[in-house]
Amino acid sequence: MTRAANSRDTACRILAAWMRTGTFADRLIGERTGDRAFVVETVYGAIRWKRLLEWAVASFTGASPPPPVLPYLHIGLYQLLKMDNVPAHAAVNETVEAAKRRLGARRAGLVNAVLRKAAGERGPVLERIAALPLDVRESHPPLLVARWIAGFGEAGAARLCAHNNRRPSVVIRPNLLRTGFAEYMQRLHAAGTEAEPHPWAPDRCIVVPHGNRVESLPGYSEGLFSVQDPATLAAVDLLDPRPGESVLDACAAPGGKTAAIAERMRCAGRIVAADVGEPRLLILRSNLSRLGLDAVRVCRCNAGRPGEVAALCGEGRFDRILVDAPCTNTGVLARRPDARWRFSRESLKECRALQAGMLDALAGGLKPGGVLVYSTCSLEPEENEGLAAWWSERHPDFKPAGSVSLFPPDTLTDGAFAAAWRAPGVARE
């Protein structure tokens, strides 16, 4: 098998595993060597455009092909319809070669027939796609599109879907305990990296051009930056941690918000970063260690269980608590394309119950006058404004202290929501 066919074979096998199990795509891809950029692009692309590719398969076959054939059809059609930099003959020939090795000549023949037909009719097919309904044309679940049309209008929903289908930018934030913003920008430019300040946070975050491996950027091993979308800073801004305070980041992994908190506090005070399981804690510890934030105490805690929160507060309650709650992730579908296919009314209901439980449990960990901040990377009102209003009604002694909502097409960030409350009582100066 040629190297090109082998890359397509790898992509098809990963996509087949995703179709079969629904496992998170990034875990299936892992740290594979070889033509990793091509594999990542085609796997994420085929997942992102799943609904449109299903329409294309049905259009070209008029039937339901055998499940083992689908990954090869989707990977091949994604190249033909969405990757202008891949020659059609390469997309067809190399994908068919990969299919022949795995599926045998007969099923590879079906792949060959469909891809050749798609390549020959690409222009008319693209015209047909442009006239399809929004959910098919932009490959999103009908339920999400209907919700977004109701919430943002047809034009807003279309802009959001288009944003979700763009290749997301790589954004980093300099570690201000180890370098300055301008100083690090100069270092990037000196290394030949044409980075630019992010338009929503031009003095805090940097957009790195595609094609740069994060680990190869200057200062990575020295902990001079973290990979962090500006949307994550909205919750930290509301939290407003001060040096000398006692602060809890209750759902801390992978650690971007924890790092921003520690930097603002100059690592002076009590900083606790907690999460629910050892795999997440391992990532959290690794990221904080690389950034040199050894002053942060990392511990295991299920923030939805009052008993575990009470145990965590055994050394004293906190001046400020951040709960970046598990959510439906509908604000980060550009970065997590598989999350759009996991959204359902049931998942939304489960997330809301979990979020409410976390707020209730963590509120008891605050000192008098302390600040509680709740955040999500969701765009759904049930998890955001609706939940904040509901919680405020149930806890009238907690005073709302501001909120922020980020809409990705407007801010060019991930989608995010954050709300803050101040606990009853008077904070000590």
**Catalytic residue status for 12:** no
Paired tokens of 295: 């002053």
3-state helix/strand/coil string of the chain: CCHHHHHHHHHHHHHHHHHHHCCCHHHHHCCCCCCHHHHHHHHHHHHHCHHHHHHHHHHHHCCCCCHHHHHHHHHHHHHHHHCCCCCHHHHHHHHHHHHHHHHCHHHHHHHHHHHHHHHHCHHHHHHHHHCCCHHHHCCCCHHHHHHHHHHHHHHHHHHHHHHHCCCCCEEEEECCCCCCHHHHHHHHHHCCCCCEECCCCCCCCEEECCCCCHHHCCCCCCCCEEECCHHHHHHHHHHCCCCCCEEEECCCCCCHHHHHHHHHCCCCCEEEEEECCHHHHHHHHHHHHHCCCCCCEEEECCCCCHHHHHHHHHHCCEEEEEEECCCCCCCCCCCCHHHHHHCCHHHHHHHHHHHHHHHHHHHCCEEEEEEEEEEECCCCCCCCHHHHHHHHHHCCCCEEEEEEEECHHHHCCCCEEEEEEECCCCCCC
For the chain, the straight-line distance linking the first and the last C-alpha, in angstroms and rounded, comes to 70
Q: Could you tell me how many residues make up the chain?
A: 429
Integer angstrom CA distances of residue 237 from 199, 271, 300:
17, 16, 25
Q: Which of 12, 301, 313, 377 is catalytic?
A: 377
Q: Catalytic site residues?
A: 377
